[in-house]
Every structure is written in C-alpha cells, then in structure tokens.
Structure 1
Amino acid sequence: MTPLLSVRGLAKHYQTRSTTLKILEDISFDVFRGKVVGLVGESGSGKTTIGRSVLRLIEPTAGEVRFDGTDITKLSSAEMRRRRPRMQYIFQDPYASLSPRMTIGEILTEGLKIQGIGSRAERLERAKTALEQVELPADAIHRYAHEFSGGQRQRIGIARALTLAPEFIVADEPVSALDVSIQAQVINLLRDLQQRLGLTMLFISHDLAVVEYICDRVIVLYLGRIMEIAASEDLYARPEHPYTRALMSAIPSPDPEAKRGREILKGDIPSPANPPSGCVFRTRCPSALDACATAAPQLREVRPGHFKACIRDDL
C-alpha cells in the first residue's frame, strides 16, 4: 500500500547571528489514506513545525515530502497552489485564525475564489454545506467571527478546511484553546467527519488522552527528533521509550482507585540552539547510560510496526 503522505529526512533549521537552531532533524514517517496519525510531545518538540512543513506553509531546510507520489518540496509556487485544495490546515487558535473584517461566508469561500472554483452562488452553497457538516446553521454566512463562541469559531475553521473537499488535513492542536466542556464536542465532530468523509489526517496535540481516542498511529517527538512510532493501541499498551513512558504516566485516570506510577522528568527541554550530544533526551532520561552521550540512536523496529530511538533493550 502506498502512503498518501511520505516524509523522509525532513529538517528545519533557522540561522541566527551566533548559531543554528535545529528545530527538526531527520524526521521520517508515512500517513496512509483514511488514517489519522498523531504527533505528540512537549511544547518545543517541533510538532507544529512538522505540520506546517509538510504543507509547505514554511519551507523545510532538507528532506522530501511526497504527497500522492509527488515530492512537493520541488514544486513551483504555481504548481503548489494547484495542489492546495487537496491539503488543508486547521489552526490552533480559533480567535486569531478568522478575520474580524470578513463575514463567515467570505472566509469560507475565499479559498474557492482563489482557486477559481464555481460561481459566487455555487461557492456560497458549498460554504453552507460545510457549515451544516460542522453542525452550524447555514445563515451563519452573513455573520462575523466575533458573534460566535470559541467552540463555534473552531467549527468555522474546520468548515473552511472542508469547503475545498481536501483529502488530507493537518489539525494543529484544534481543541487546546477551548474550554474542557467544549473540547469533547469538537473532537467527536472531527472523528465523525474523518470517518464519514474518509479524510486522512495529521493530528497534532500535547494531550495523549485525546490522541489515543482519535489516532490510528502515534509519533512521539522530543526536541525535533522522533523517539517512538507505533500503532496507537500498541503504544498505549506497551510504550518502549523512556520519554513515552513519562508522558503516559502523566495521563489522568478516570478511576480514582487506579494506581499509576508517575515518572517526573527533571529539568526543562533543552534549547535547539544547544542540543545535547548523542541522544537528545539523555539529560532528562532516568535510564541514560554513558554511551547515550556518544551517538544519536536511530529508529529501529522492536516489534512489528513499533519503532523506538533508544540504544537500550532492557527497559
């Protein structure tokens, strides 16, 4: 089976006057049609940078991003624009991502207008259909963003992505800015839309409970490197990497009687301007060896379909 999205050796560096910030380094993964792949990790791990790089909202420093077999990093701006309807982005902040000067109808039809799709009436009909898909009334097209709650604004952001009938969506922390009571509604909506429309999705989140609920496969990131990749069920049942285990131990349990050992990581995530030698996680790893400082571990398959970047087999 050929993946819809295939990323190989992706890197993103920023040059300052004094140093190079290595935000991403040697990122490789696949996303297959109709599946949801989660990106998890602490703030500063590079999740959003991956999401924006695979859609070329920012330009990667190195590597290739193949979408439906074509390396889009080599496409011209005009060629990339023609492919934009097939790949869309849902932004984290529902307040900042919608223009206060445009009606909802103008926001939803802007992409269609840029692509030259349909007449004005046809574009408005597609906007109304998208609003209905996210469970908002069609007459919302005449209103402005400030007239809606945060949860409703995020539904509008989802509708904006759907108007172009994409095959692939990057959902960047789509519920992190919402009240807890609203988060579940939006997550259930995304899950329903993904299944009903057959969408392929890269889902970015720091909330491992949400990722477990919606994702088929999970990628664990730390300081711009992949620590572990596995099917969601396998990862949550048997996490292999010490970093993944620490993240898992922090997931709240709904059972007050349940006992789960909490693994507290010491210190803060290091700066990408001065990453640790060898394994970038070693300075906070409770299981680090002297050898961890000498060479960066490569992703290796420890079980069928389950990969980790760690030199230890005895954990």
Structure 2
Amino acid sequence: MSEPLLSVRDLGKDYTSRGTKLTILRAISFDVGRGEVVGLVGESGSGKTTIGRSVLRLVEPSAGSVRFDGTELTSLSSSAMRRLRPRMQYIFQDPFASLSPRMTIGEILTEGLKIQGVGTARERLDRARAALEQVDLPTDAVNRYAHEFSGGQRQRIGIARALTLAPEFIVADEPVSALDVSIQAQVINLLRELQQGLGLTMLFISHDLAVVEYICDRVIVLYLGRIMEIAPSAALYARPLHPYTRALLSAIPSPDPDSPRHRQILKGDIPSPADPPSGCVFRTRCPNALPACGETVPELREMKPGHFKACVRDDLN
C-alpha cells in the first residue's frame, strides 16, 4: 500500500436512544493510501455510513484517532477543521435529498467556494461550469434547478459539487444505490475515470459487492460495527477467509445462470447494537460457530500478506 493519506485507529461511535446506549462502531482501525480506493461493505446496520461521516467529522467520533495527511482531526477546532474541508469532500447517497430545490445548480456548486472565500463570484461560477464539464453535463445547467434533472444527472451534480474545491479525498456513500440499474454503470464508470484521472483517494461505501469489486483496490468487510476482514480486492473475491464475507459473496448474482454456486443463506437479522452478542458479534448467524466464539472478541489478524480476518478459527483459511 502507498503512504496513508487517512489513518483511522480504534474509532468508536456511541449514540443514546431513549436512555439506551447504542454502540455503532467498535475499535475500527484501517488506513487508506494516497490514490487508493478502499471499499466499505456490509449489511445495513453494519456502520458503513457512520464510519464515512465520522472520519470527516460530519458526526463526532466517541473515541479513537483519525489522522488526515498527518493531522489529527478529532482534536481540531471548528475553524481549523473548516480550513481542511476543501481537501475532503462527501458524495451523498440520495441525489434527490442532497440538492436544495430552492437554489440554482450554480448556487449549489459555488456555495462551498463562497464559504471558503475562493475567488470572485465570476471565478466561482467558472469553476462550477468546469466541474459540470468534468461530469459530462452542460455548463448552462448552472441556471437551472435540481427538479429539472433526472436522478442520474442529479448524482452527477452531487459529484461536481464535491469536485469544485479540488479535493484530495472523497467519501462516496452508496453513490449509485438510489439510481436505476441502467444508470448505475454510467455513474460508476464516471467515478472511476475521475478517480484515476485526478488521482483521488476514495473511501467507497456500498452494499453492492459487484460494484465494489469493479472500483476498489482493497475492501473492508463490516458487521455490527466491527471489522471482519480486510484484503486486496482480488484476494478477497478469489478466496475470502471469513464466513461472513463468504456469505456476502455467495449472494452476488452470476452472469451465467447455469454456473454452479453454493449460496450461503444467513439466518435471522443483524442483531441490535443495543444488545450485541458476546464474543464474536457474528457468531449468532455464523454456520461455523464454536462455543469459544462466544467467549472471546477475535482480533484482526494478518493471515496472509495484506489479508486480515477477525475469527477465532484458523481452520477456515
């Protein structure tokens, strides 16, 4: 892996709901190298979006360290964090809810530039037009409103908004899940082209394992706020080591309906963070669980070069 641009250590996030403490993230640690795309995958409720928002301090972490290019973010003042914001941007999941219906596209794209005091009004509008060209939209879109565009076009506008400040790091939070299948491939290809062309570093959040395989260099598999497995994308898809990862990958639709595939069906739902299982949080749904799995929280161990898993069983490799 290249030199880390983002280093996360023991990240934790707690919420309180109706007097009950909910631990959403538990001791999350990982790095993202410069120019690397790292995928975060897992079922709904695994903590993917909470990680994405915590590392940018859109929500405040409850514990741990987040270092961006050597700077500890968790201890920065609001003003210091604001000065760093142009280097870190977020692409939201819902292209309909993330764009104000009362602002023109030009106002939406220049808002961040204005807050940061970048250029004159004309220069900011020029940068907005340039960003629209980068995402293959006409520059006259600056005079129109969000309701005049399709879902795929709105997500392109959301991507353009992230690009206007020329960031180094982008969190893409389920950027195609709200789009029609026919449009998803276009947006994913656009993101890949932009990432490679601009040398962007990206944390890519998705539940779609096929999309993650296409765009990500490495993959982090999450379950109930804990990391189950980390591996280079090719290694993870060729030979996953954790039972949870195997179950997720077995659910990917095959382009050949006649190809043999052993589908691993997970029983039940992901447990509540208010009452997580003891030991390994996955054990209540794991087909390979042993009594020991309820006694010890497994550490994330390197089983092969660059390939880590959190499981008490070594015989599943």
- TM-score higher than 0.5: yes
Unaligned runs of 5+ in 1: none
1:215 Cα offset (Å)? 0.1
Q: Deviations along 1:31-78, whole A, 9 cap, x unmatched? A: 001110000000000000000000000000000000000110000000
User: What SS does structure 2 have at the residue aligned with 1:307?
Assistant: strand
Name whichever of 259-268 and 9-18 sits farther off: 9-18
For 1:126, the aligned partner's letter is R
For 2:98, the aligned partner's letter is S
For 1:99, the aligned partner's letter is S
In structure 2, how many angstroms separate the alpha carbons of the residues matched to 1:3 and 1:74? 19
| Corresponding residue of 2:76 | 75
State TM-score, norm by structure 1.
0.99
Q: Answer yes or no: is 1:311 the counterpart of 2:312.
A: yes
User: What SS does structure 1 have at the residue aligned with 2:184?
Assistant: helix
| Corresponding residue of 1:118 | 119
Q: Answer yes or no: is 1:295 the counterpart of 2:296.
A: yes
1:247-286 alignment to 2 at 5 Å?
A: 247-286=248-287
| Corresponding residue of 1:164 | 165
User: What SS does structure 2 have at the residue aligned with 1:166?
Assistant: coil
Q: Deviations along 1:255-309, whole A, 9 cap, x unmatched? A: 1221110000000000000000000000000000000000100000000000000
Q: After TM superposition, which residue ranges in structure 1, 4 or more long, deviate above 3 angstroms?
A: none
User: What SS does structure 1 have at the residue aligned with 2:230?
Assistant: strand
User: What SS does structure 2 have at the residue aligned with 1:4?
Assistant: strand
| Corresponding residue of 2:44 | 43
In structure 2, how many angstroms separate the alpha carbons of the residues matched to 1:196 and 1:207? 24
Q: Answer yes or no: is 1:208 the counterpart of 2:203.
A: no
In structure 2, how many angstroms separate the alpha carbons of the residues matched to 1:176 and 1:295? 35
User: What SS does structure 1 have at the residue aligned with 2:10?
Assistant: strand
In structure 1, how many angstroms separate the alpha carbons of the residues matched to 2:18 and 2:248? 35
| Corresponding residue of 2:242 | 241
User: What SS does structure 2 have at the residue aligned with 1:175?
Assistant: coil
| Corresponding residue of 2:195 | 194
In structure 2, how many angstroms separate the alpha carbons of the residues matched to 1:143 and 1:238? 49
In structure 1, how many angstroms separate the alpha carbons of the residues matched to 2:272 and 2:254? 32
In structure 2, how many angstroms separate the alpha carbons of the residues matched to 1:314 and 1:164? 49
1:2 Cα offset (Å)? 2.8
| Corresponding residue of 2:87 | 86
User: What SS does structure 2 have at the residue aligned with 1:297?
Assistant: coil
| Corresponding residue of 1:143 | 144
Unaligned runs of 5+ in 2: none
In structure 2, how many angstroms separate the alpha carbons of the residues matched to 1:219 and 1:208? 11
User: What SS does structure 2 have at the residue aligned with 1:123?
Assistant: helix
For 1:272, the aligned partner's letter is P
1:19 Cα offset (Å)? 2.5
In structure 2, how many angstroms separate the alpha carbons of the residues matched to 1:270 and 1:204? 21
For 1:159, the aligned partner's letter is A
For 2:58, the aligned partner's letter is L
For 2:297, the aligned partner's letter is A
Identity %: 82
1:17 Cα offset (Å)? 4.5
In structure 2, how many angstroms separate the alpha carbons of the residues matched to 1:101 and 1:184? 29
Q: Deviations along 1:166-198, whole A, 9 cap, x unmatched? A: 000000000000000000000000000000000
In structure 2, how many angstroms separate the alpha carbons of the residues matched to 1:18 and 1:147? 44
In structure 2, how many angstroms separate the alpha carbons of the residues matched to 1:45 and 1:154? 24
1:18 Cα offset (Å)? 3.7
User: What SS does structure 2 have at the residue aligned with 1:211?
Assistant: helix
In structure 1, how many angstroms separate the alpha carbons of the residues matched to 2:135 and 2:180? 18
| Corresponding residue of 1:64 | 65
Q: How many residues align?
A: 315
Q: Deviations along 1:188-223, whole A, 9 cap, x unmatched? A: 000000000000000000000000000000000000
In structure 2, how many angstroms separate the alpha carbons of the residues matched to 1:270 and 1:16? 16
